[in-house]
Amino acid sequence: MSLELRGITKTFGSLTANDSINLRVETGQIHAILGENGAGKSTLMNIVYGLLKADNGQIFVDEKLIDISEPSDALDAGIGMVHQHFMLIPVFTVAENIVLGHEKTKRLGVLDISTARDAIKRVSKDFGFEVDPDAIVETLPVGIQQKVEIIRALIYDAKVLILDEPTAVLTPQETDELLNTMQELKRKGTSIIFITHKLREVRAVADQITIIRRGKVVAAVSPTTPEGELASMMVGRAVDLAPEKHKHVVGDPILVAKDLTVRDALGTAVVKAVNFHVNAGEVLAIAGVQGNGQSELARALVNLEDHIEGSISLNGKEIRGSSIYDSLHAGIAFIPESRELDGLVSSFSIAENLILDLHDQAPYAKGLNLSANIVLSEAEKRVAEFDIRLQSVNDAVSTLSGGNKQKVVIARELSRPIKVLIASQPTRGLDVGSIEFVHERILAERDQGRGVILFSTELDEVMALADRIAVMYRGEILEIVDSGVTREELGLLMAGVVSKKASA
Amino acid sequence: MRNALSKFGQAIKLPGLSFFMAFTITGLIIAVSDAKVLAKFSSPLDFIKSALAAVGNAYLALFQGSVFDVNLIKDGSFIHGFYPLSETIVTATPLILTGLSVALAFKSGLFNIGAQGQFIFGAIGASYVGFNFELPIGIHILAAALTGAVFAAIWGGIVGILKARTGAHEVILTIMMNYIAAYFILWVLKTQAFLRPGRIDPIAPEVNENARLPLLAGSTFRLNFGIFIALAAALFVWWLLTKTTIGFKFRAVGANAQAAKTAGISVPFVITSTMMICGALAGLGGAVQVLGSEYALNADIAGSFGFDAITVALLGRAQPLGTVFAALLFGALQAGGRTMQSNTGVPLDIVQVTQALIVLFIAAPAFVRYIFKIKKLNSSAALTSKGWNG
C-alpha cells in the first residue's frame, strides 16, 4: 500500500509546525523521516494518524484521497502507529492489551481472549517474534513491549506502519533486533515510516530519507548519503559529529572506587565489587547495555544509593557514606540519567532550577535569605554562557525543549568549583545540535584537568569521547580498555564476552 | 501595578465564580425547602415572588450576621452595627492559622490532615500556662502562646519524624494523631491539674487577665489581638516560602522530591521541619482561641477548625493571602449562618451546603470553565489536587 501526503500544513498560533509538506511512501518501502526535535516530525505523523487535523493538504492511500479526522479513520485505511511512549496498560497481559478497544465477547458477555491469543501466535510466527500472549506487559523488557505494539498494529491489518522514534528507548541489541524486524516487515510488503534523528539507523535500513527542518521538507536523499551530510541538512549548518579531542597531559587519579558494591532494597548486589579510577584530565566511559548496574553505580558515586559497600575516594579522601549534599560540595558535578525526574523541578523557573543545589550557598543566600536579584542576574549569565534558548529565566523549565533542559542541568553543575564530572546518559533523547554541545562541554572539562566519568549506552558516544572505556556487564566491570578498541570488540564485551588479551 | 491587578483578577476569577454558583444553588435549595414558598406552587408569579423573598431574607440575614446589622445600632452608636463583622473575624482567626498550617504542608507536598490535633495541643499548652502562672502583662501572653505553639510543633513533628524515618504516610499518621489528641484532651480535663476548683465537668479554669489577648474595640466586641497574630503568621508563611532558602527547599521537595534529593536537599529535614512549623501554626490557632475568645479550655475547644482548615487551604489555593481570604469567608458564613437560623428559620446546616458547593466547584475547575466558557490559563489549580502520593 502506498501513502502520499500533499501540501500538509499545520500551524499552532504563530508557529508553523508543518509547512506544505509533500511525501510519498511506496509499497514495501522503509521511508525514514529525519529531523531534529521540534522539526515537526511528530506533528506530521499525528496528522496522518488522525490525532491532529491539518489546516491544509491531502492524504492519499493507493492514489485514493481519504479523509482522516480521527485514529479510527487511519486504522480503517490501514495505517498503524507505534508511539514513542507505549500505549499499553502495564498490568494487563499481552493479549488483553491487544484486544483493548476492540473487545469481542462470547456468549453472556464473556471476553473473547482466545481469538486474540491465536492471532498473536500467528503474527509472531509469521514475523519471527517471540511474544507470550499471556505475559503481563510490565514484566516484559522494553524491546518486547514495543513488539507488542507492532503486533497490535499488524493484527488490525496495518499496511503502513508509523514508528515514532522507536529506538529512543532501546538498547543497542534491541535496536538491532528492531531493525531486523523492520526488514522482515518490509519483505512481507508492509510500508514503514520510520521517524528518528539517529543517523546510523537510518542509513542501515531506510530505502528513502526525507529530511525535515523547521516544518519544511529540506531534502529527499538516498541512504548512501554520508552521515555528516545528513546531519548538516538536519541542523541547517555544518556539524561536527566526531568532536576533536586534543592531546593533553593526564594527571593523577582523582576519584578512586575500590571494591564498590551497591545493593538494592532487597539486598541483591546490583554492582559487584567494582574497581576503577579516573585521572585528572581524562574521560573514563562506563559502557554497557542498559540495566547492567550503570545507573546504580552512577548514583552510588554521589551517595544517592542507600546500600553501598567498599570505598570511594576523592583526592584521597574517603567520601563513601557522606551525604549527597557533601558529595556535591566536595567537588563532584552530577548530571543524572533522567533530567525530567532527577535533574529538574519542572514547575520551577529556569532561574530556580539553576540554583537547585546552590540555593543555600553564597552569593545566593545570606543567612536564611535567598536573594532573588542575584538568582536572576546569575541565571542571565548562565543562559548566555551556555546558550540556553528561552523567553525569560522566570518561565517554568518545563517550557524548554529537551536540549535546553539538559543545558540547564549542565550549566548548573558546571557553574561551581568541581574536580570530577559524573554524567549519566547525558545525551539521551537529545537532537544532533544539542548532542554536539554536550560533547564539547564534556571534552572542555577534560581539557581543563577535571576527571570525567561518562555513563553511556551509546557506542558512538563512548567511542568519540572516552580515553579509557570500562564495560559493565551484570553488575561487574568486565574490562577496562583503551580508546583504540574497535566497535566489534566493545560490542562483544557488552554482551559479556571477555577477550583473552586484557589491557589497561 | 496594572499587571499585578490583572494577575489578581485572574487569581480570584475561578474562586469568585465558584462562590457565585454555590450561592445560586444554595438559594434554590432555600427556596424549594421553604413550605410557604411551595404552597404557592399553583401560581407561578406568586411562587417566584415568594421564592425570591425567602432567599432574599435568608441572604440578608446572612449578611446581617456576618458584616453589618442596622438593628444593632443603639444609643446612636453606629459602630455597634459592626458587631457581626467582629464575630466574623473572631471566627476566622483560628481558621486562618489552621488553614496556613495545611497550606504550608501542601507546598512541601504533604497532606496535613492533623491540624485538628495540633490545634488541641496548642490550646492545652496555652491554657495551662495561662491559668497556672502569674506573669507580667505581655510576657504572659507570649509565654502561653509560645508554649501552645511548641506543644503543637512537637505533636506535628512526631508525624514528620515518623514519615521521614519510616516512610509512613502522613495522612494516616495525622488522622490517627487526631484521635489521640481528641481523647487526650478529654483525659487532661479530668486531671487535677486542669480541673476547675469546685467543678466536676471537663472545663479548665479561665486564663489569667494578663494572659488574655487585648480586645481591640471595647468590651462589647469579642474582636481581639488574635487577628494580628494570624495575619503576622500569614506574612511569615509568605516570607518563608518565597524569600528564604528553607522555603526554597520546601517548594523543591513539594514539586519534585526526587530532583530535590538529587540536588542534595535533605528530604527528611524538609518533611520534619515542615510538619513542625505546620504544627506550630495550627497550635497557635488553638492558643489564640483560648487566649482570645474562650479563655477556658473545654473538650469542644477545637470545634472543626482543624478540618475546615483543609477546605480553607484548598479554597485559598495554598497561598497565604488566599488562605486569609478563604478563612474570612468561612468565618462570615459561620457567623452569618447563626443569625440566618435565628432570624429566618433557615437551618445553619445550609451554610455547610454552601461551603461544600464552593469547594466542589473549586475542585472541579474544568466544570466552572465549561459553564462560563473561560479559556484555560496556566493556573496552579493542579497543585492542591495532588499530594496523596506521599
Q: List, for residues A200-258, the tens digit of each pLDDT value.
A: 888 899 999 999 988 899 999 998 998 888 888 888 887 776 777 777 778 899 999 99
Percent of all residues in chain B with a pLDDT value above 90, rounded to a whole number: 68
Write down the pLDDT at residue A447.
Answer: 93
In a domain, A150, yes or no: yes
A334 touches chain B (CB under 8 A): yes
Contact A341 B251 (CB under 8 A): no
Rounded CA-CA distance A398/B123 in Å is: 44
Mean pLDDT of B125-152: 96
Same domain, A264 and A381: no
Same domain, A128 and A189: yes
CB A395 within 8 A of CB A350: yes
Same domain, A223 and A295: no
Write down the pLDDT at residue B8.
Answer: 75
- Whether the pLDDT of residue B250 is over 50: the answer is yes
- Whether the pLDDT of residue A21 is over 90: the answer is yes
Write down the pLDDT at residue A59.
Answer: 93
In a domain, A504, yes or no: no
B2 confidence band (pLDDT: 50, 70, 90):
low
In a domain, A161, yes or no: yes
Residue with cell 429566618: B344
Same domain, A43 and A30: yes
* Nearest CB to A345 within list B260, B264, B266: B260
Mean pLDDT of A65-83: 90
Report which listed range, A160-169, B95-104, B373-382, is most confident.
Answer: B95-104
A154 touches chain B (CB under 8 A): no
CB B101 within 8 A of CB B379: no
Rounded CA-CA distance A83/A79 in Å is: 13
A332 confidence band (pLDDT: 50, 70, 90):
very high
Rounded CA-CA distance A199/A150 in Å is: 22
The set of residues, in sequence order, having a beta carbon less than 8 Å from that of B25 and lying 6+ positions away, is B357
Same domain, A80 and A229: yes
Cβ-based contacts under 8 A for chains A and B: 68
pLDDT, averaged across chain B: 90
CATH of the domain at A95: 3.40.50.300
Percent of all residues in chain A with a pLDDT value above 70, rounded to a whole number: 98
Nearest partner of B88 among B112, B111, B66, judged by Cα:
B66
Mean pLDDT of B10-35: 86
In a domain, A246, yes or no: no
Name the pairing type of β-strands A365-366 and A369-370. Answer: antiparallel
Q: Which residues of A touch B263 (CB under 8 A)?
A: 328, 356-357
Rounded CA-CA distance B64/B71 in Å is: 9
Write down the pLDDT at residue B376.
Answer: 57
In a domain, A129, yes or no: yes
Contact A344 B258 (CB under 8 A): no
Give, in order, the Cα–Cα distances in Å from B365 to each of A65, A283, B358, B374: 42, 52, 11, 10
In a domain, A244, yes or no: no
Percent of all residues in chain B with a pLDDT value above 70, rounded to a whole number: 95
Q: Which residues of A touch B266 (CB under 8 A)?
A: 323, 325
Same domain, A278 and A156: no
As a whole number of Å, the CA-based R_g of chain B is: 22
Last residue of a domain, one of A416, A440, A470: A416
Contact A372 B243 (CB under 8 A): yes
Write down the pLDDT at residue B375.
Answer: 64
Same domain, A221 and A174: yes
- Write out the DSSP string of B280-300: HHHHHHHHHIIIIII-EEETT
pTM flag (> 0.90)? no
Contact B261 A304 (CB under 8 A): yes
A497 touches chain B (CB under 8 A): no
Is the model more confident about A289 or about A395?
A395
- Whether the pLDDT of residue A198 is over 50: the answer is yes
Q: What are phi and psi of B100, to 5 degrees?
A: -60, -40
Same domain, A60 and A143: yes
- Give me the number of domains chain A comprises: 3
A127 confidence band (pLDDT: 50, 70, 90):
confident
Q: Is the peptide bond before A172 cis (omega within 30 degrees of 0)?
A: no
- Whether the pLDDT of residue A107 is over 80: the answer is no
Same domain, A379 and A397: yes
Q: Which amino acid is at A274?
A: V
- Whether the pLDDT of residue B5 is over 90: the answer is no
Q: Which residues of B touch A334 (CB under 8 A)?
A: 262
User: Residue A162, SS3?
Assistant: strand
C-alpha torsion B225→B231→B232→B238, nearest 10: 170
The HSE-up count of residue A148 (CA atoms within 13 Å, CB side) is 32
- Whether the pLDDT of residue B367 is over 60: the answer is yes
Chain B interface, Cβ < 8 Å to A: 243-249, 251-252, 255-256, 258-266
- Whether the pLDDT of residue A378 is over 80: the answer is yes
Grid cell digits, residue B368: 466552572
User: Residue A9, SS3?
Assistant: strand
A365 touches chain B (CB under 8 A): yes
Domain holding A368, by residue range, is 338-416
Write down the pLDDT at residue B121.
Answer: 98
Q: What domains are there in chain B, each with its CATH number? A: 1-69+346-381 (no CATH), 85-335 (1.10.3470)
Same domain, A226 and A262: no
User: What tens digit of pLDDT does each residue of B80-121 get?
Assistant: 889 999 999 999 999 999 999 999 999 999 999 999 999 999
CB B100 within 8 A of CB B264: no
Last residue of a domain, one of A235, A262, A289: A235
User: What tens digit of pLDDT does each residue of B160-173 get?
Assistant: 999 999 999 999 99
Give, in order, the Cα–Cα distances in Å from B252 to each of A25, B222, B266: 48, 41, 11
Write down the pLDDT at residue A35.
Answer: 85
- Write out the DSSP string of A82-128: E-SS----TTSBHHHHHHTTS--B-GGG-B--HHHHHHHHHHHHHHT
User: What tens digit of pLDDT does each residue of A433-485 get?
Assistant: 888 899 999 999 999 999 999 999 888 899 999 999 999 988 999 999 998 88
CB B368 within 8 A of CB B14: yes
Write down the pLDDT at residue B218.
Answer: 85
Nearest residue on chain B to A338, alpha-carbon basis: B259
Grid cell digits, residue B326: 478563604
Question: Which of A303, A322, A347 would you mutate first to test chain B, the one with the most B CBs within 10 A?
Answer: A347
Nearest residue on chain B to A395, alpha-carbon basis: B378
Contact A334 B258 (CB under 8 A): no
In a domain, A67, yes or no: yes
CA angle A13/A18/A21 to nearest 5° reads 150
A324 touches chain B (CB under 8 A): yes
- Whether the pLDDT of residue B387 is over 60: the answer is no
A113 confidence band (pLDDT: 50, 70, 90):
confident
Mean pLDDT of A174-181: 86
Percent of all residues in chain A with a pLDDT value above 90, rounded to a whole number: 53
Same domain, A104 and A159: yes
Contact B252 A345 (CB under 8 A): yes
Rounded CA-CA distance A427/A435 in Å is: 6
Q: Which amino acid is at A428?
A: R
Q: List A477's β-bridge partners, or say none.
A: A472
- Whether the pLDDT of residue A263 is over 90: the answer is yes
- Whether the pLDDT of residue B178 is over 90: the answer is yes
A275 confidence band (pLDDT: 50, 70, 90):
very high
Write down the pLDDT at residue A500.
Answer: 53
Residues shown for chain A: 504
Rounded CA-CA distance A173/B39 in Å is: 80
- Whether the pLDDT of residue B197 is over 50: the answer is yes
B228 confidence band (pLDDT: 50, 70, 90):
very high
Grid cell digits, residue B312: 480553607
Same domain, A394 and A472: no
Nearest partner of A223 among A199, A245, A243, judged by Cα:
A199
Q: Which residues of B touch A325 (CB under 8 A)?
A: 264-266
In a domain, A406, yes or no: yes
Write down the pLDDT at residue B1.
Answer: 56
Write down the pLDDT at residue A200.
Answer: 84
- Whether the pLDDT of residue B57 is over 50: the answer is yes
